[in-house]
Structure 1
Amino acid sequence: MPKKLIKRFMPHPDALKDHKHLKMFGTLLHKPNLWHLNRRSAPGAFAVGLFMAWMPMPFQMVAAAALAIFFNVNLPVSVALVWITNPVTMPFLFYIAYQVGARLLGHTPQPFAFEASWQWLESSLATIGPPFMLGCLVLGVISAIVGFFVISNLWKYSVLFKWKNRATR
């Protein structure tokens, strides 16, 4: 069942309430739905987490927490899913986002060599910035929609499977 699997990896709410970056939310963290997994909070949490995973910004986890509080969905799942884009996967996923954005804008994707310098960043924002940002936004929205419906249907089918097993006993 998805609920048991997800709960196994979730941190304790008290540990997250005391986290230094989440303390800024104060009493907003006391909403019960932020900490419970149910058929409404889990799919929404997946949507928030998957959307924020595609956003190329610092402090993605704090932004995911803010969106989870705003939409009243499971906070730990939202924050954890942001780590889909980690230092290992980020170059590959963001390159895909650039390719998608370039195709949507009708640009031919340009090869580029990354340099860890401020000059490279400033000069590249004009050329690869718009396709990259559009690609991130489009893939974030698509991932959020797909994640929401997949988890919603998995939840529904796991409940139906449990009912069916109870009826056969």
Structure 2
Amino acid sequence: MPKKLLKKFIPHHKIKDHKHLKMFGSLLHNPNLWSLNRYSVSTAFSIGLFCAMIPMPFQMIPAAACAIVARANLPISIALVWLTNPITMPPVFYFAFKVGAYVLGREARGFQFDASVEWFASGLASIWQPFLLGCFICGSVLAISSNILIRILWYWHIKRAWARRQRKADSL
């Protein structure tokens, strides 16, 4: 994997000494939370993409908690949650709704969103089941496929690096 490129964007592990993060104590001192290895990065992708599909505010909090518990790369887990941002949420969550409606065998008819208490009381009642099921399915598919893809790409990259090193050694 392009470690040098990723290291440019990932905050330095000294962030764990920040005064506001002291409340986490020694939990933030696990090296996997800050290192770039096959396990921590692939697990971080799974956590980040699954949490991105959770329809709730502050998705970064469960992503960070899961990354700490699973000892995955913390910055990558948190960054991937922003896949669903205010611009991408409508199409992503509408797709999740359509997936859930398809699985439940319901008609995925369109609906009008209205940011009012009345809509949340009546309109949401008819779509919450397919919506949440679709979010769970899409999140699970993204988590599993990203984990497998990252592990395959990482293995391929290491294999190429070893072959390159072997060719270089043979040419000397």
Q: Which deviates more from structure 2 when the two are superposed, residues 119-128 or residues 131-140?
A: 119-128
The structure with the largest alpha-carbon Rg is 2
Compute the displacement of 1:16 (Å): 6.0
Deviation track 1:88-113 (CA, whole Å, cap 9, x = no partner) reads: 11100000000000000000012111
Match in the other structure for 1:95 = 94
> SS of the residue aligned with 1:113?
coil
- Whether the aligned pair in 1 keeps the contact of 2:32 and 2:40 (CA below 8 Å) is yes
CA contact (8 A) 1:68 1:75 kept: yes
CA apart distance, 1:119: 2.1
Residue ranges of structure 2 left out of the alignment (5+ in a row)? none
- Distance apart, 1:12 and its partner CA: 2.1
- State the distance in 1 between where 2:10 and 2:125 align: 41
Aligned to 2:46: 47
- Give the aligned partner of residue 13 of structure 1: 13
**Amino acid paired to 1:4:** K
Q: Could you tell me whether the CA contact under 8 Å between 1:2 and 1:155 is conserved in 2?
A: no
Q: Distance in 2 between matches of 1:146 and 1:155?
A: 14
Judge conservation of contact 2:16–2:28 (CA < 8 Å) in 1: no
* 1:37 counterpart SS class: coil
Equivalent position amino acid for 1:75 in 2 = L
TM-score normalised by structure 1 residue count: 0.92
The separation in 2 between residues aligned to 1:23 and 1:129, in whole angstroms, is 39
Q: Give the residue type in structure 1 aligned to 2:18.
A: D
Report the equivalent of 1:128: 127
Partners of 1:13 and 1:122 in 2: how far apart?
45
**Corresponding position of 2:137:** 138
More moved, 2-11 vs 69-78: 2-11
CA contact (8 A) 2:52 2:83 kept: yes
- Answer whether contact 2:100 2:134 (CA < 8 A) is retained: yes
Q: Which runs of 5+ in 1 are unaligned?
A: none
**Aligned-CA RMSD value:** 1.6
Judged with a 3 Å threshold, the aligned counterparts in structure 2 of structure 1 residues 19 and 155 are, in CA distance, closer, same or farther, namely farther
1:86 is matched with: 85
> Normalising by structure 2, what TM-score?
0.91
The residue identity in structure 1 corresponding to 2:61 is V
Q: Determine what percentage of the aligned residue pairs are the same residue.
A: 51
The aligned amino acid for 1:80 is: A
Letter in 2 for 1:8: K
The one-letter code of the counterpart of 2:154 is: W
Residue 11 of structure 1 aligns with an amino acid whose one-letter code is: P
CA distance in 1, matches of 2:17, 2:123: 39
Q: For residues 32 and 15 of structure 1, what CA distance do their matches in structure 2 show?
A: 13
Task: Identify if the C-alpha distance between structure 1 residues 52 and 99 changes in structure 2 by more than 3 Å, giving closer, same or farther.
Answer: same
Residue type of the partner of 2:142?
A: S
Q: Is 1:2 matched up with 2:5?
A: no
Aligned to 2:30: 31
- Alignment size in residue pairs: 168
